[in-house]
Amino acid sequence: MNDLHIELIHQLFGEADKINMPLWLQGGWASDASIGDKLLRCISWEAILWDYFYYIEEVPQSQWRSKDFFSFALAKESFGEAATQHLHEQFKRQHAS
């Protein structure tokens, strides 16, 4: 990764933070990655749950596979029930408009 890429990532995350928009890097990044001196959100339970919140809105649970229920429960348990609820409320606020 070169300096231009690092600067663009810093700008992207900085602007997203201004509007309280969570972003995560994907693909091969360690969960505690940093670029330069900026810590970055990477694939995490939080990111997985965020994707599940979209899934909940798009696919009725009656159409979920058993592994969907299992994976969602695992993510909630790992992240914590209260933290999951707080994150879901944040998701709903951001997608209400």
Tell me how far apart the alpha carbons of residues 42 and 40 are, in angstroms, rounded to a whole number: 6
On whether the pTM is more than 0.85, the answer is no
Q: In terms of residues, how long is the chain? A: 97
- Contacts (Cβ under 8 Å, ≥6 apart) of 26: 42, 43
* pLDDT single digits (tens) 22-72: 777 664 444 445 566 666 656 778 888 988 999 999 999 999 999 999 999
Whether the per-residue pLDDT at 80 is higher than 90: the answer is: yes
Domain boundaries along the sequence of the chain: 3-39, 45-94
